[in-house]
Structure 1
Amino acid sequence: MQAAIGAGAGKSAAIGKKARLDVHGRAKPLTRGWVHAIFSPLAMAACIVAICLAPIKGLKAACSVYLASSCLLFINSACYHIGNWGKRLTDVLRRIDHANIFLLIAGTYTPLSFALPFMGRVIVISVMWGTVALALLVNVLWISAPRWLYTSTYIVIGVAGASIMPFLWLSKWAGFIVVILTACGGILYIAGGIIYGAKKPDPWPKVFGFHEIFHVFTVLGYACEITAVFWVICKMR
């Protein structure tokens, strides 16, 4: 009887251990996914406030796009990294997780572009979303692409957005503050991407590793970017 109980306990422990493995077969740190899970409602609330404060319908729509891309990134990331899913659902959530970073970059520049003249806004939105569409196509079709490839793609698209910085600097609805905030956000995103690609520092692999540091950097970068969006909204009111 005791042997059976012991065998059952061992089997349960093995199942529990298996449930905590990531797609690469590595044990997940205890805090995997919780940074984004905690931040999800804060991002959602901030975007809703931005929509309410936006003075024109077009900017409200742009902030709604930002809300959708923000919620999709943080909520999906939390579900993907915390949950113990079957192989098929894990693959779907993983594809969405990789795609969401592209969507958030384009989603961020959508409301920020309202600080530019109409034609500048159209160009920025068209170029950013067009580039992201191509990146998404590659990402969805080649989910097993090397880590360095899609990490580099994130960084390239983020840096491409820096081309509008001079125009934001000259805008009466943006200026120095928005440029600094946007640049800081981009630097934080890039730093997080480098950490993710290099897999280090990895301070406490069983509790809080390199992936969690990457998530912290995305939250900090997001905080800078959404502050820039609020600045534009307040200047336009």
Structure 2
Amino acid sequence: MLCGSVYLLTNVIHAGDLFRISGVFVFSITVTLLFITSTIYHGTREPLKKFWQRFDHCSIYLLIAGTVTPFVLRAGMGYVSWFLLALIWGLSILGIYQQIRAKNDSAPSIWIYLILGWIGVLAVLREWRFFSTISVSFLLIGAILYTIGTIFYSNKRQFRHAHGAWHLFVLGGAICHFLSIRFYVL
């Protein structure tokens, strides 16, 4: 994803549009942060493992908000879409705050991530007329992949290698959203 982020940023800079550049920058930072923190978390042993687990969970909130951002900034959408973007960022920040302040090590509910993510998709689809069919297709496929992946994440004990499958769905969702942004923003 780091290479994809460099590709997006390099190409969007030539557009000279501050909104496009800002949106791609936010997505690039949040998607790269997610994969870096997840890699560190999964490769770390105690006593730092719990710290990186929280950081990993926080980066999911950031990625959800960061994925919606380039679409809203690029399209100059209506007030409702801007409101939904602000709502997603606000709830993501609240989720991060709650995750940092939590007394126990429990993960946030997967439902919170799903609801935030689908609010983001709906915010974008609400203004579908701005988007190409291929961009919308990759956006929806990515959201569906993330959603299917949560089945494996939520049922780790029932499926062999469920956590690995979860990560493959996350990677697939992130790649689809990268492609959606690539076809829309560039």
| 1:100 to partner: Cα distance | 1.0
Q: Which residue of 1 aligns with 2:95?
A: 135
| 1:176 to partner: Cα distance | 2.5
Select the residue among 160, 171, 175 that pairs with 1:219. 171
Q: Distance in 1 between matches of 2:105 and 2:154?
A: 13
Q: Distance in 1 between matches of 2:103 and 2:144?
A: 26
> How much is the aligned-residue C-alpha RMSD, in angstroms?
2.0
Give runs of aligned pairs for residues 66-215 of structure 1, distance below 5 A: 66-84=27-45, 86-87=46-47, 89-117=48-76, 119-120=78-79, 122-142=82-102, 144=104, 146=106, 150-171=109-130, 174-199=131-156, 202-203=159-160, 209-215=161-167
**Bigger CA radius of gyration:** 1
Question: Structure 1 145/91 Cα, relative in aligned 2: closer, same or farther at 3 Å?
Answer: closer
TM-score normalised per structure 2: 0.87
On the 8 A contact 2:85/2:120 being kept in 1, the answer is no
Q: Distance in 1 between matches of 2:180 and 2:93?
A: 24
Q: Which residue of 2 aligns with 1:58?
A: 19
Report the secondary structure of 2:182's partner residue: helix
Q: Distance in 2 between matches of 1:90 and 1:73?
A: 16
Counterpart code for 1:180: S
TM-score normalised per structure 1: 0.70
| 1:192 to partner: Cα distance | 1.1
| 1:144 to partner: Cα distance | 3.4
Report the secondary structure of 1:219's partner residue: helix
| 1:119 to partner: Cα distance | 4.4
Q: Which residue of 2 aligns with 1:15?
A: none
Question: Structure 1 75/123 Cα, relative in aligned 2: closer, same or farther at 3 Å?
Answer: same
| 1:165 to partner: Cα distance | 4.0
